[in-house]
Structure 1
Amino acid sequence: MASAQKNLSVFSTDELPDISERRFAILVSEWNSEVTEALFDGAYQTLLQHGAKPENVIRGNVPGSYELSLGSQWFAQRDDIDAVIAIGCVIQGETKHNDYINHAVAQGLTNVGMKTGKPVIFGVLTPNDQQQALDRAGGIHGNKGDEAAITAIKMIGLQQQVYSKF
């Protein structure tokens, strides 16, 4: 496996936009909380590190990853929210349950972003087992919550570029 000894949370932070006045919602699934809490911490700290004010980062909880789509829509519909980061973890089991959940969440979050015109970021891990999840939630492969936050920031920057007047 190519990722066996590699930190996968390597990304460029060149030319990030000013987010000091931007507001973010981070929606966190309570299912697999050991993993999702670590992902939340990564996303939250990354937003602060790059200029977000603590009072401009709102957290919401949902029971499981399936509920991330509707929760994200509720936050994205608010005029005072600039981007939504959806945090979850669906671990493969002995049935195909995870396939249905992962597909529904990916499609649902995509639809919310398209409907609202706001960045709605897929911060959902889809690992084969608990160890893979932990490895990607602050373990040897970095923290995918960090990446979700950087993605939200970059999408805000792109949105500014697209809608700015020349």
Structure 2
Amino acid sequence: MIPLITQTPRLTILAASRALLTAELHKPQYFPTLLGAAIPTDWPPGNYDLTAMQYDLEQLTAGGRTAAGWYGWYALRKATDDTPRTLVGVGGFQGPPDAAGLAELTYSLAAEWRGQGLGTELVAGLVQQAAATGMVRLLVAHTEVDNLAAQQVLLHNGFASVGLDINSRLRFERAVEPAADTALND
């Protein structure tokens, strides 16, 4: 079974569930309680919109347990003395890897949490998660040409730019080695 929580130094990265996505979409007043975290005022961030939420929910519903961990992941900043546990971003994969082991990674941070290295940490956690599955051999990510911050996040996580895709976005790739028996769930 794929681990559904990944820990990084400042983040708990939690796989989306049908219950969480249903609350986020249809009963947002319950979402922070179910998630156990404060929600940023500008939620949802970036390209993570109602269409993305609905897609993830549909995929988790159709795929059952085998779909868990292959769609949305919530990035929760761990509580500190000054800050409660807070939802800072989302990320994940566009689905399970194909037969060759290729999976596409996406992520987005709430505006108030950008510029603090949390995007880099979120992507690192997702790369760690992909490696832990033993199924992913190559990760792909896309950014807009003018989004230098997103490009830096990917470069800091070992991705290399391989040119433009058919939508004139930059395509980044990174090989993934299966993880040795590591403890993702501290």
| Structure with a larger share of its residues in strand | 2
Q: Which one scores higher on RCO, CA 8 angstroms, separation ≥ 6? A: 1
Flag whether TM exceeds 0.5 (same fold).
no
With normalisation by structure 1, the TM-score equals: 0.30
| Structure with a larger share of its residues in helix | 1
With normalisation by structure 2, the TM-score equals: 0.27
